[in-house]
């Protein structure tokens, strides 16, 4: 794909209903995680939250992506503090971020467990992770292959992998429940009638605005309940804080623990 056409595809993606809804989700998650902090650092893995567009002096944002065209496009959009790095080998210092957000990145890497461990490594103790991934393996189709996806997830599978990577999972819920049944019907129809690749046209403005409003409702709803189905999975997790225990040693143990006097000394 030539660069101008690739930039045009990225421009259409950033104007899509899912991009807008996901950006709202991440901004809300970051605001909640940093509510009691005076200064903080945030890693936007995938450049999907666009936190760099907000002029907040107390929050420093680093935008990371593995693809140079995406970083060039983000720079054209005015986003600063960009870095090119692989999710499985983040070239960043350990324990350096208060929050990590990852928008639809995990399904593109060959080893998702290594990527999760890297996210945990760069997080500070007690730091927050918020990520989204495509849901429901039965919805796998040509669009996943064209986007370079390697897998789709269930909520249970994502929770298990996060636990294996050392995270404490706070919440896992499905999202885009309003689009689940249309996507399922479309997938079944393609399996029955055709196998050819048929890229869907983007929704018109009215349809996109309607989806954004419906996802605003879902985003508020998942504050109280976990949705049982959807085309995306959203997860909140935290890196466990290391607690240093203070051990009190009795006086008699400290006395006997002293180095013995040399032989012959008075």
pLDDT at 83: 94
Q: Is pLDDT at 7 greater than 90 in this prediction?
A: no
Helices (H), the chain: 3-14, 17-33, 68-76, 112-122, 142-146, 155-164, 180-193, 205-221, 251-256
Looking at the domain that runs over 3-240, which CATH code has it been given?
Answer: 3.40.50.150
Per-residue pLDDT of 115-155, as tens digits, reads 999 999 999 999 999 999 999 999 998 888 888 899 999 99
Average pLDDT, the chain: 85
Would you list the domain boundaries of the chain?
3-240
pLDDT of residue 244: 47
The widest CA-to-CA distance across the chain, in whole angstroms, is 100
pLDDT top residue among 245 and 157: 157
Buried b (16+ CB within 10 A) or exposed e, 183-204: beeeeeeeeeeeeeeeeeeeee
User: In the structure, what pLDDT confidence band is assigned to residue 197 with cuts at 50, 70 and 90?
Assistant: very low
The confidence score (pLDDT) of residue 195 equals 52
pLDDT of residue 143: 87
Please tell me the distance from the alpha carbon of residue 187 to that of residue 201, in angstroms, as a whole number.
16
Rounded to two decimals, the pTM is 0.82
Digit-coded pLDDT (tens) for 36-63: 787 899 999 999 988 855 546 578 999 9
- Is there a contact between 26 and 34 (Cβ–Cβ < 8 Å)? no
| CA dist., res. 53 & res. 240, Å (int) | 30
């Amino acid at each position: 794909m030539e660069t101008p056409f690739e930039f045009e595809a990225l421009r259409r993606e950033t104007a899509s209903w899912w991009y807008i809804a996901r950006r709202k989700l991440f901004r809300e998650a970051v605001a909640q995680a940093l509510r009691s902090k005076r200064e903080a650092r945030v890693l936007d893995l995938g450049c999907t939250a666009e936190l760099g567009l907000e002029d907040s002096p107390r929050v420093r944002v680093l935008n990371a992506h593995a693809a140079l065209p995406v970083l060039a496009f983000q720079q054209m959009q005015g986003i600063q503090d960009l870095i090119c790095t692989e999710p499985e080998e983040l070239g960043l210092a350990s324990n350096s971020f208060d929050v990590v957000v990852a928008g639809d990145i995990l399904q593109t890497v060959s080893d998702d467990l290594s990527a999760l461990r890297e996210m945990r490594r760069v997080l500070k103790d007690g730091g927050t992770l918020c990520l989204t991934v495509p849901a429901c393996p039965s919805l796998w189709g040509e669009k996943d292959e064209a986007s370079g996806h390697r897998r789709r997830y269930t909520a249970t599978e994502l929770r298990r992998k996060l636990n294996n990577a050392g995270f404490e999972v706070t919440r896992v819920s499905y999202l885009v429940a309003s689009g689940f049944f249309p996507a399922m019907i479309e997938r079944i129809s393609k399996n029955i009638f055709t196998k050819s690749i048929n890229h869907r046209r983007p929704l018109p403005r009215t349809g996109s605005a309607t989806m954004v409003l419906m996802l605003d409702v879902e985003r508020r709803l998942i504050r109280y309940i976990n949705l049982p189905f959807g085309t995306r999975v959203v997860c909140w997790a935290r890196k466990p804080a290391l607690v240093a225990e203070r051990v009190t040693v009795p006086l008699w143990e400290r006395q006997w623990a002293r180095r013995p006097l040399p032989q012959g000394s008075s």
